[in-house]
Amino acid sequence: LCVSAVTTTTRYSPYSPSSLSPDALSDYRKKRDKNNIASKRSRQKRAEKQREMRNEKEMLERRNIELKTLLGSLEVQLVYTIFSTIKVENFFSNDNRSVLKF
């Protein structure tokens, strides 16, 4: 039979209120408050950056749709132009030159 003992260790902060003088405690509190403000500001900046990136993503997706639509339209125009050119070339082939004589 084997029984293991579980031990727990308690960590004490070097800044625990009982170990600090009133001046040191005041300095510690000021540092903590300053850090809390900086952390809050950092989280706000990160959230704002995420909002900006989300807005830019949506704008780029809309622009992508616009460009794809434009590309489709230009492809249709290109096909129309190619077929029109072929028709004109066929019209002016050797068989139809006599029509153009004055």
Amino acid identity, position 72: G
Structure confidence at residue 97 as a pLDDT band (50, 70, 90): low
pTM for the whole structure: 0.56
Structure confidence at residue 37 as a pLDDT band (50, 70, 90): very high
Phi, psi angle pair for 92, to nearest 5°: -90, 15
Q: What is the pLDDT of residues 48-74, one digit of tens each?
A: 999 999 999 999 999 999 999 999 999
pLDDT of residue 70: 98
Query: If you count them, how many residues does the chain have?
Result: 102
Q: What is the pLDDT of residues 6-35, one digit of tens each?
A: 666 665 565 566 677 888 889 999 999 999
Whole-number Å distance between alpha carbons of 54 and 43: 16
